[in-house]
Amino acid sequence: MGTDELNIFEEEFWKINQVLEKLLRETNARTVLLIDRAGQLITSVGDTSTLDVPSFATLSAADFAATAQLALLIGENAFSTLFHQGENQSIYISIVAEKLILAIVFDKRTTLGLVRIKANQVSKELDGIFKTIFTRIKGSYQKTIDSDFLSEAESELDNLFK
């Protein structure tokens, strides 16, 4: 991957962080995390000082995986959001771009309704950013394999099966 391509992905990363920062401000949440489905943290904004982030990310992904199985048991394809309400803090978790998990940790300074509305808006913004990233990644892989290589590979495969 060349320097220009790395710069493009760096720009997208900062756009993602800006969107998450906006969500944090507009909801008055404590922390917003973006996690992949394997449980790896992609990025976070807000206060994570009292949060075991690796464990939180892993458990959030596992929570979604378990809930997907519950959805199947009742005849649903999946659930797109989860909500856990505690005495002092709550967690709202949703799927973004079909591949990522958006987790919002909030307390009594905000409401579930506001978090839901803003999370839905942000999900649409993030979907657009990730579609761009996925398209660029796909283009990068296609650029690395030129037509001469493909022709030669096809010829070798043909020879193997003669």
Domain positions in the chain: 3-160
Q: What kind and span of H or E run contains 145?
A: none
Q: CA 96 to CA 123: how far, in whole Å?
A: 6
CATH number of 3-160: 3.30.450.30
Contact 19, 27 (CB under 8 A): no
pTM: 0.78
Q: What amino acid occupies position 19?
A: V
Residues of the chain scoring pLDDT < 50:
1-6, 143
pLDDT given for residue 5 in this prediction: 44
Mutual orientation of helices 3-27 and 112-144 as an angle, nearest 10°? 170
pLDDT given for residue 1 in this prediction: 45
Contact 102, 123 (CB under 8 A): yes
pLDDT given for residue 161 in this prediction: 55
